[in-house]
Amino acid sequence: MAADRSAVPGRAAVAEFFTRRIVVITAVALAGGLVAGGVAGATSDGGTHAHATVAAGRGTHARYRSAVAARAGGQAVDPGLFSTGACMAFPATSGDRHETVFLDAGHGGVDPGAVGTTEGGATVEESTVNLAIELDTMTLLRAEGYRVVVSRTQNTSVTRLSPADTSDGVLSDQGAFADVTARDVCADLARAAVLVGIYMDGGYQGDAGCLTGYDADRPFSAANLRLATLLQDDVLAAMNSRGYAIPDDGVLPDSGLGSALTSAAVAYPHLLLLGPAKAGYFPTPSSMPGALIEPLYVTDPMEASVAVSAAGQQAIAGGIAQAVGQYFTAADQRRG
């Protein structure tokens, strides 16, 4: 069932949320995903995963030029609410499917996300990998006729950080909460029909594989599950068709993902990027079906090597774009 895209927070309500910042102690077990009742991924993913921070390679000059070209032609959804280059909308480059897709490149700015090392010893930051895949996916979807809104187009936070949002050069609990929930606000203001969170995972020695999370407690939970299943299947197939042999860690409810560091976060067993509103804690949830994929562990040297490679990033982007297309095709068939 399609999300009600008219359910967008009022401008005044959103502005109040961003200016007053409702101080909340969140569960930021910053480790490579999203945090339960908070953020996940080594810092602020928008969900509930404790991750060890992970950094990514810078890529070739050709890839850099491609990324710059991908960012051309974007328009800020609301420049007053978000960081420069964040929450940007890009029109379709071929045809018009009359649908908007929101892509979230997890982490960014002072939050590198999970950090790992390739087989060659190079440091890999999750936030850099996430951004490259987001931009590649955006290019593919625009060519298929979709309007695409991305959470960020460069190495920045999504929200405009206040002094209280950082501590000793890293995001505070409040800052991590604000940066994840800003992504939900962006998706809602953009009136997106679907949301895809692009993150990497982080963990202990031996942890590896592709995982996709969804929220089972939203009114559109069935759509969440359909999208999550398509993402898991298509991204895994795209990677393994190249011989990477990435394990299938499955499609899981977000209630089983992440970790919480405070009682407030424990009482909210969802990823902030995907979960419902909760009075006094989280007033601005996303209002459309969504899922969050973590295709690789950057803390696994082999998977980190795939994550920083152009071939690996393009395989993941191709799988995401294919899954989104299949999701909308099936939705059109059900309506027809």
CATH of the domain at 192: 3.40.630.40
The mean pLDDT value for 66-81 works out to 82
Give the closest residue to 98 by CA, choosing from 185, 184, 7, 5. Answer: 5
Structure tokens given for 100: 């908007």
Q: Taking 90 as the threshold, does the pLDDT of residue 141 lie above it?
A: yes
pLDDT confidence bin for 13, thresholds 50/70/90: very low
Give the closest residue to 273 by CA, choosing from 291, 295, 247. Answer: 291
Domain assignment of residue 321, yes or no? yes
The mean pLDDT value for 135-157 works out to 98
pLDDT confidence bin for 107, thresholds 50/70/90: very high
Query: For 157-207, what is each residue's pLDDT tens digit?
Result: 999 999 999 999 999 888 999 999 999 999 999 999 999 999 999 999 999
Domain assignment of residue 128, yes or no? yes
Domain assignment of residue 49, yes or no? no
Instruction: Classify the phi-psi angles of 121: left when phi > 0, otherwise alpha if psi is within -120 to 50, otherwise beta.
Output: left
Per-residue model confidence (pLDDT) at position 261:
56
Domain assignment of residue 322, yes or no? yes
Query: For 243-269, what is each residue's pLDDT tens digit?
Result: 999 999 999 999 978 656 567 777 899
Domain assignment of residue 134, yes or no? yes
Domain assignment of residue 122, yes or no? yes
Structure tokens given for 286: 């996303």
Domain assignment of residue 80, yes or no? yes
Structural contact between residues 33 and 293, judged by C-beta atoms closer than 8 angstroms: no
Average pLDDT taken over every residue of the chain: 84
pTM, rounded to two decimals? 0.84
The structural domain count of the chain equals 1
Domain assignment of residue 15, yes or no? no
Give the whole-angstrom CA distance, residue 289 versus residue 174: 26
Which strands, in side-by-side order, build the sheet including 248-253? 75-76, 86-90, 147-152, 100-105, 194-198, 290-294, 210-214, 248-253
Query: For 311-335, what is each residue's pLDDT tens digit?
Result: 999 999 999 999 999 999 988 777 7
Structural contact between residues 158 and 186, judged by C-beta atoms closer than 8 angstroms: yes
Strands (DSSP E) contained in 182-316 are 194-198, 210-214, 248-253, 290-294
Classified as helix, coil or strand, 161 is: coil
Classified as helix, coil or strand, 285 is: coil
Q: Which domain holds residue 138?
A: 55-257+284-335
Query: For 273-285, what is each residue's pLDDT tens digit?
Result: 999 999 999 999 9
Q: What distance separates the 2 farthest-apart alpha carbons in the chain?
A: 55
Per-residue model confidence (pLDDT) at position 40:
45
